């Protein structure tokens, strides 16, 4: 039993099934995780190694090169890039998409374990981190209060951070800004010299004192006691009492004096030297290393990360609820907590946008149905299929462990227009049967069953185009997989609904509610189409040649459309990276940043300005990756949403250009500014934040500097490029302590002891940790500010010799000033400089042509390479894999259609509609100024599945009519008229359903709009041309494939020479009919002289019986369907007979009474 028949016979079962789906859908929706992006495993691993105070060259030689060589052999590795900066080695490993990152990180750790022994002794163990650029904070809070920064930071930690991290779904709350506590032991060089105590001895004494150690257990009669050695500091004051040394009060000056004292048995008095005797202990703050501000006010920001798979909307709601309680509790302490970034708002807006698109699509579909069917109940039944299909989709998404995000919602919004297609085809066919006067149950069963094969095939072709997306490489392939799954689920759901629920509900429509007569305007449309089709088929070769020519022109025009990887999305946010000359103090950087801030805050577009200068030295997981020096700052500018009501709000690019013009008059004290426009959500996942990236590779840093500077000068001449910069940092001023090893040896001093003494004196040495309330604070030992604030005093730093004397640093080393690289960048184990630029009001493809010309004209030394990378490289890779996906999609669509029609040539006719869609795509892209990007390519792949649906429905009907005995010409004309209404209805509902998406309304819609524009353009042109091109191609194909007309003519001539004897039917009634036919009936000779014997006898049969059907004609004369159809058509053309009754098997033919009478 077929599905439509089953659903009609079992109404209660159908109702219960769909009630179950609605309940499941609602439960699934409430439990689906909601996030901004799909959960994807980004194929990148970061290796961080710290080696305090080492120069970039030392980091590169001693750490970076060794690790790069070791991990270079890991399976699946695509690219290695590294940055060597002061005290830090950062290596980034890029793997192929689809690599199992858990196994990859294990392999990397194994390789590092093998070379750990080769790393310097002072270097920390390398940290291996998996990186995901999409794991951005879900909330960023700004905290301000009328108290010191230390108090505010402590308050944030105790009252806010600790409370928020208890919330279900919150992974961490990281504090940025504020100053941290530190216990500082400031030593007086004079006192150290007087007491002959080396600086390292003080550090060692503190380290050895601050201990709590388990000593074991002791057992008594009844109890067992744990014994612990308690030595840890309980209060800061205890640090002062640490014993550094025990010395004699009046030590003997000579060996002889010591000998005399020994003879007399005198023991000299001892004195104990405490820390307080050689310096002072301060409970203070760490040196200012970072500044955080929001809208010009100093603040502390808290970045909240969610746990993997947590529902962002739910977590945010819980956090906001907790924040209200915290704010209420801190009301008396005048603490202001503001939310400056909320990711859930973007998701909410996206969900709202898709809901709106679904509702608008549903309403538009309803009006299209009402317009064509003029029956409110039929229209409502089809519209009802949208929410039910969506509920079934949610259930399938839940069981497939998908999340609600921008891409899956995009798939749902894309599917809304297509959800009703199957329902329309079924409903329209049921409606047609009702108009023929059939009863409701029969119409519902027959109408649905007739088109079942066609809609299953058309749904499968649409699903098949999404299958090749599995093979698309790069970030696009990963992100669009979720969209593919959602569309697949929604289409499968709509197919089930169309074949079960629609026939059941359609059977309930009462006969009086269905008009049997066709509407006047639809009759006019059919007549207009019939006349146009007749003309088209008459001159089919001329028309087809014209269409092919237009398609070829459009192909050429499409090549000229500007290309880019991802569509530009104005996220109303941009970042300014401020780089002062290396070595600039944090206070100077702050002064310059304030000048930029003040200009920004005067613009009406600005919503918020967040400033971070420098980085906190506190080590947090993953925080080491993006460290800023005291000479660097990041300004994140949030803009108000653009609105037509307020024209003051400009595009992000326009705001940047205004700022650049305003900053010309401002003294930036040598600062270099870089603008990072958040145009693509996936910029973090690509190389750098700018579209244009050029790699300059080689060995010598100076040669790389000169090549990159020359390249930047040439690029300034290219129109449309701005903010041209290179990642080659200016040289950093440094003072080198050059140790004279021969002189150091005279004092029994090693290079190591001199280096450690210099480090402890200048930077300070963290001797131990002070514990309080579960927190640890550094105990730092160093010289007083006045003993180390210039180079002369540094020369006089005293180093304790094992010989028992104090040696000034100047005696064993000399100081020299110079410049050294602040950062060394490497790519694929070669030193690399990346020159990057932004584009303004010019196409990416045009700019690339100009840059390629510049590179080709440059004189590049041997062993050095200059080439484009970044977006272009990613774009080429993605486009190649998308073209492969498109070809694979076309092959799969052909295979499905060939299976359905059981024919190898008919699918080729339908496939011809694919290039026809290029006409509409090209026009749509040019009219809307849309670039050719990954999303447009995806739209073309989707089109491959959608545009063939009209052809499938049309050819399916043609085949049905041919089986009923229609000639090829009559079959295509009749099928065109029969399927005109459903084809126009499905095309209009799909295009109208996509209009809300194409308009780019709602958050994140700019990402989906190019796809919608592509589908609308392609579907509009292909729908219009399908109705004419497929009938023409079908007739041409039939003429080629079925070369029988000549053979039939020869057969007819032979039949004319012989007397006609036809004995087919054995029943007595049929025998009587045959006998009656043998009597000749005279017609006017001039009218029937061209007729063959069969046609003449058929006329006699009609005179006796009153009518003849095609089936009777075939049985009477034992001829093929094609011959019978051709004979009857010739009689029709001559005006001898006229058709009566409905189209299809029930049609009969009578004598045209106007021309003949008995």
- pLDDT one-digit tens code per residue, 678-692: 555 454 444 445 777
The predicted structure's pLDDT at residue 1072: 46
3 state DSSP class of 311: coil
Is the per-residue pLDDT at 1082 higher than 70?
no
CATH topology of domain 139-176+291-336: Alpha-Beta Plaits (3.30.70)
What is the value of pTM for the model shown?
Answer: 0.66
Beta bridge partners of 226: 217
Question: Percentage of the chain with pLDDT > 90?
Answer: 4
CA-closest candidate to residue 807, choices 190, 198, 191: 198
Across residues 806-820, what is the average pLDDT?
82
Is the per-residue pLDDT at 299 higher than 80?
yes
How many beta carbons lie within 10 A of that of residue 1124, not counting itself? Answer: 24
Beta bridge partners of 868: 694
CA distance 96 to 89: 23
Residue 593's pLDDT band, with cuts at 50, 70 and 90, is very high
The predicted structure's pLDDT at residue 876: 67
Across residues 613-632, what is the average pLDDT?
60
- Give the pairing type, strands 181-187 and 279-285: antiparallel
What's the CATH number of domain 44-130, 3.30.930.10, 3.30.70.1430, 3.30.470.20, 3.40.50.720?
A: 3.30.70.1430
* The dihedral sign for the CA sequence 651, 657, 659, 661: negative
Is the per-residue pLDDT at 645 higher than 70?
no
Across residues 923-934, what is the average pLDDT?
84
Identify the residue with better confidence: 1015 or 180: 1015
Tokens representing residue 529 in the block: 């189409």
- pLDDT one-digit tens code per residue, 87-142: 888 898 988 877 888 889 899 999 999 988 888 877 888 988 876 655 678 888 88
3 state DSSP class of 598: helix
CA distance 898 to 464: 14
Is the per-residue pLDDT at 1087 higher than 70?
no
How many beta carbons lie within 10 A of that of residue 636, not counting itself? Answer: 19
| Average pLDDT of every residue of the chain | 79
Helix/strand/coil (H, E, C) string of 73-142? Answer: CCCCEEEEEEEEECCEEEEEEEECCCCCHHHHHHHHHHHHHHHHHHCCCCCCCCEEEECCCCCCCCEEEE
Residue 26's pLDDT band, with cuts at 50, 70 and 90, is very high
- Pinpoint the alpha helices (H) of 763-869: 791-795, 809-812, 844-857
Pick the range with the lowest mean pLDDT from 313-327, 578-592, 726-740. Answer: 726-740
Q: Which residues of 717-739 are buried (b: 16+ CB within 10 A; e: fewer)?
A: ebebbebbbbbbbbbbeeeebeb
The predicted structure's pLDDT at residue 63: 92
- pLDDT one-digit tens code per residue, 329-371: 888 888 888 888 887 877 777 777 767 776 777 787 778 778 7
Across residues 400-428, what is the average pLDDT?
77
Is the per-residue pLDDT at 1078 higher than 50?
no
The predicted structure's pLDDT at residue 64: 92
Sequence-distant (6+) residues with CB within 8 A of 988 are 368
Kindly report, as residue ranges, where domains of CATH 3.30.70.1430 are found in the chain: 44-130, 572-678
- pLDDT one-digit tens code per residue, 44-76: 888 988 887 778 888 988 999 999 999 988 888
Question: Percentage of the chain with pLDDT > 70?
Answer: 85
> Do the Cβ atoms of 308 and 132 come closer than 8 Å?
no
- pLDDT one-digit tens code per residue, 839-882: 776 767 778 888 888 888 888 888 888 887 765 566 666 677 77
Residue 817's pLDDT band, with cuts at 50, 70 and 90, is confident
CATH topology of domain 183-285+733-820: 3.30.2090
Query: How close are the terminal C-alpha atoms of the chain, in Å?
Result: 50
The predicted structure's pLDDT at residue 738: 83
The predicted structure's pLDDT at residue 192: 83
- Give the pairing type, strands 139-145 and 335-342: antiparallel
Across residues 418-434, what is the average pLDDT?
79
- pLDDT one-digit tens code per residue, 179-205: 778 888 988 888 888 888 888 888 888
Identify the residue with better confidence: 418 or 147: 147
The predicted structure's pLDDT at residue 1076: 44
Query: Of the ranges 646-650, 1056-1060, 1131-1135, which is most confident?
Result: 1131-1135
Sequence-distant (6+) residues with CB within 8 A of 78 are 43, 94, 95, 96
Across residues 1016-1031, what is the average pLDDT?
87
The predicted structure's pLDDT at residue 486: 86
How many beta carbons lie within 10 A of that of residue 598, not counting itself? Answer: 12
- pLDDT one-digit tens code per residue, 772-803: 877 888 888 888 888 877 778 788 888 888 88
Tokens representing residue 417 in the block: 């227009």
Q: Phi/psi at 915 (nearest 5 deg)? A: -65, -25
Sequence-distant (6+) residues with CB within 8 A of 1154 are 1135
Kindly report, as residue ranges, where domains of CATH 1.10.10.10 are found in the chain: 1045-1151
The predicted structure's pLDDT at residue 688: 46
177 burial type by CB count under 10 A (0-12 exposed, 13-18 middle, 19+ buried): buried
Is the per-residue pLDDT at 24 higher than 90?
yes
Pick the range with the lowest mean pLDDT from 392-396, 524-528, 654-658, 844-848. Answer: 844-848
Pick the range with the lowest mean pLDDT from 225-239, 649-663, 927-941, 1134-1148. Answer: 1134-1148
CA distance 1081 to 607: 95
For the chain, the C-alpha Rg in angstroms (whole number) is 42
- Pinpoint the alpha helices (H) of 507-562: 520-538, 540-559
CATH topology of domain 1045-1151: Arc Repressor Mutant, subunit A (1.10.10)
3 state DSSP class of 217: strand
Kindly report, as residue ranges, where domains of CATH 3.30.2090.10 are found in the chain: 183-285+733-820
Residue 1048's pLDDT band, with cuts at 50, 70 and 90, is very low
Answer yes or no: CATH 1.10.3980.10 is held by domain 572-678.
no
The predicted structure's pLDDT at residue 616: 59
The predicted structure's pLDDT at residue 642: 64
The predicted structure's pLDDT at residue 67: 92
- pLDDT one-digit tens code per residue, 448-502: 888 888 788 878 888 888 777 777 766 667 777 777 888 888 888 888 888 888 8
CA-closest candidate to residue 618, choices 1080, 200, 287: 287
- Give the pairing type, strands 77-85 and 823-827: antiparallel
Pick the range with the lowest mean pLDDT from 3-12, 149-158, 610-619. Answer: 610-619
- pLDDT one-digit tens code per residue, 739-779: 888 888 888 888 888 888 887 888 787 888 888 877 888 88
Q: Phi/psi at 878 (nearest 5 deg)? A: -65, -40
Identify the residue with better confidence: 1104 or 1155: 1104
Kindly report, as residue ranges, where domains of CATH 3.30.70.1320 are found in the chain: 139-176+291-336
Across residues 615-643, what is the average pLDDT?
66
CATH topology of domain 3-31+374-565+876-1041: Multidrug efflux transporter AcrB transmembrane fold (1.20.1640)
């Amino acid at each position: 039993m077929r599905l439509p028949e089953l659903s009609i016979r079992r109404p209660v079962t159908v109702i219960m099934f769909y009630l179950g789906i609605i309940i499941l859908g609602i439960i699934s929706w409430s439990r689906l995780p909601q996030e901004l992006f799909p959960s994807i495993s980004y194929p990148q691993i970061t290796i961080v190694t710290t080696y305090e105070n080492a120069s970039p060259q030392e980091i590169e030689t001693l750490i970076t090169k060794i690790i790069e060589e070791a991990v270079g052999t890991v399976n699946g590795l695509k690219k290695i890039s590294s940055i060597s900066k002061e005290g830090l080695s950062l290596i980034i490993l890029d793997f192929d998409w689809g690599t199992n990152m858990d196994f990859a990180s294990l392999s990397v750790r194994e390789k590092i374990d093998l070379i750990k022994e080769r790393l310097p002794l002072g270097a920390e163990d390398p940290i291996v981190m998996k990186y995901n650029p999409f794991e951005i904070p879900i909330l960023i809070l700004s905290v301000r209060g009328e108290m010191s920064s230390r108090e505010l930071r402590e308050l944030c930690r105790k009252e806010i951070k600790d409370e928020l991290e208890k919330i279900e779904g919150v992974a961490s709350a990281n504090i940025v800004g504020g100053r941290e506590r530190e216990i500082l032991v400031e030593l007086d060089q004079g006192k150290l010299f007087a007491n002959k105590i080396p600086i390292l001895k003080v550090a060692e004494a503190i380290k050895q004192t601050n201990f709590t150690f388990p000593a074991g257990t002791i057992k008594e009669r009844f109890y067992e006691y744990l014994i612990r050695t308690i030595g840890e500091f309980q209060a800061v004051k205890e640090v002062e009492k640490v014993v550094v040394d025990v010395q004699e009060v009046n030590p003997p000056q000579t060996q002889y004096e010591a000998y005399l004292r020994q003879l007399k048995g005198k023991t000299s008095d001892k004195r104990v030297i405490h820390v307080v005797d050689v310096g002072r202990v301060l409970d203070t703050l760490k040196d200012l290393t970072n500044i955080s501000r929001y809208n010009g006010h100093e603040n502390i920001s808290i970045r909240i990360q969610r746990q993997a798979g947590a529902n962002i909307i739910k977590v945010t709601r819980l956090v906001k609820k907790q924040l209200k309680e915290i704010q209420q509790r801190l009301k008396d302490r005048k603490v202001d907590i503001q939310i400056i970034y909320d990711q859930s708002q973007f998701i909410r807006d996206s969900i709202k946008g898709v809901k709106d698109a679904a509702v608008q699509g549903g309403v538009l579909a309803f009006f299209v149905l009402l317009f064509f069917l003029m029956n409110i109940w039929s229209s409502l039944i089809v519209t009802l299929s949208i929410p039910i299909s969506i509920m079934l989709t949610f259930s399938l998404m839940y069981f497939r462990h998908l999340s609600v995000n921008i891409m899956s919602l995009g798939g749902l919004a894309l599917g809304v227009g297509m959800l009703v297609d199957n329902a329309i085809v079924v409903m329209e066919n049921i409606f047609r049967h009702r108009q023929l006067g059939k009863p409701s149950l029969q119409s519902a069963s027959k109408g649905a069953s007739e088109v079942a094969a066609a809609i299953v095939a058309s749904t499968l072709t649409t699903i098949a185009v999404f299958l090749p997306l599995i093979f698309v490489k790069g970030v696009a392939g990963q992100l669009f997989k979720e969209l593919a799954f959602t569309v697949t689920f929604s289409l499968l759901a709509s197919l089930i609904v169309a074949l079960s629920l629609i026939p059941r509900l359609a059977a309930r429509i009462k006969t009086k509610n269905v008009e049997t007569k066709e509407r006047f305007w639809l009759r006019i449309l059919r007549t207009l189409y019939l006349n146009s089709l007749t003309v088209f088929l008459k001159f089919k070769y001329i028309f087809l040649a014209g269409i092919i020519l237009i398609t070829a022109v459009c192909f050429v025009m499409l090549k000229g459309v500007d290309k880019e990887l991802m569509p530009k999305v104005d996220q109303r946010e941009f970042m300014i990276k401020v780089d002062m000359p290396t070595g600039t103090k944090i206070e100077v950087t702050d002064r310059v940043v304030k000048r930029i801030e003040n200009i920004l805050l005067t613009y009406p577009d600005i919503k918020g300005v967040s400033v971070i200068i420098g980085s906190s030295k506190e080590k947090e997981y993953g925080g080491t990756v993006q460290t800023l020096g005291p000479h660097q700052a990041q300004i994140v500018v949030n803009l108000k949403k653009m609105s037509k009501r307020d024209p003051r709000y400009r595009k992000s690019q326009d705001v940047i250009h205004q700022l650049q013009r305003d900053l010309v008059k401002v003294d930036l004290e040598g600062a270099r500014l870089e603008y990072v426009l958040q145009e693509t959500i996936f910029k973090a996942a690509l190389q750098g934040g700018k579209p244009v990236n050029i790699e300059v590779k080689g060995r010598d840093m100076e040669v790389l500097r000169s090549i990159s500077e020359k390249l930047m000068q040439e690029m300034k001449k290219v129109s449309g490029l701005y903010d041209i910069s290179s990642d080659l940092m200016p040289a950093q001023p440094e003072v080198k302590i050059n140790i004279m090893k021969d002189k150091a040896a005279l004092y029994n001093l090693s290079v190591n002891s001199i280096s450690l003494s210099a480090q402890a004196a200048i930077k300070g040495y963290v001797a131990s940790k002070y514990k309080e309330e579960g927190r640890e604070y550094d105990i730092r030992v160093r010289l007083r500010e006045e003993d180390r604030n210039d180079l002369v005093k540094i020369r006089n730093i005293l180093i304790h010799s094992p010989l028992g004397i104090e040696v000034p640093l100047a005696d064993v080393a000399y100081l020299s000033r110079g410049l050294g690289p602040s950062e060394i960048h490497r790519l694929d184990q070669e030193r690399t400089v990346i020159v990057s630029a932004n584009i303004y009001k010019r196409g990416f493809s045009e700019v690339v042509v100009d840059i390629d010309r510049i590179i080709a004209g440059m004189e590049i030394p041997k062993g050095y390479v200059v080439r484009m990378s970044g977006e272009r490289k990613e774009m080429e890779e993605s486009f190649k894999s998308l073209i492969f996906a498109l070809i694979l999609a076309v092959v799969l669509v052909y295979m499905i259609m060939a299976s359905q029609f059981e024919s190898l040539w008919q699918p080729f006719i339908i496939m011809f509609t694919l290039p026809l869609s290029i006409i509409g795509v090209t026009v749509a892209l040019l009219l809307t100024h849309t670039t050719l990007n990954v999303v447009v390519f995806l739209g073309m792949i989707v089109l491959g599945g959608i545009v063939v649906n009209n052809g499938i429905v049309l050819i399916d009907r043609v085949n049905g009519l041919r089986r009923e005995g229609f000639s090829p010409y009559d079959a295509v004309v009749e099928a065109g008229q029969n399927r005109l209404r459903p084809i126009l209805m499905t095309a209009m509902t799909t295009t109208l359903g996509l209009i809300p998406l194409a308009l780019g309304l709602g958050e994140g819609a700019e990402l989906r709009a190019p796809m919608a524009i592509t589908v609308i353009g392609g579907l509009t042109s292909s729908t219009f041309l399908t109705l004419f091109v497929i009938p023409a191609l079908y007739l041409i194909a039939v003429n080629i494939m079925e070369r029988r007309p000549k053979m039939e003519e020869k057969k007819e001539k032979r039949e004319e020479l012989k007397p006609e004897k036809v004995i087919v039917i054995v029943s007595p009634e049929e025998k009587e009919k045959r006998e009656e036919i043998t009597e000749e009936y005279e017609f006017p000779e001039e009218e029937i002289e061209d007729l063959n014997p069969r046609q003449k006898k058929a006329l006699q049969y009609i005179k006796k019986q009153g009518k003849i059907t095609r089936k009777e004609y075939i049985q009477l004369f034992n001829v093929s369907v094609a011959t019978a159809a051709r004979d009857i058509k010739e009689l029709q053309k001559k005006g001898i007979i006229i058709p009566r009754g409905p189209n299809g098997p029930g049609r009969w033919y009578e004598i045209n009474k106007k021309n003949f009478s008995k």
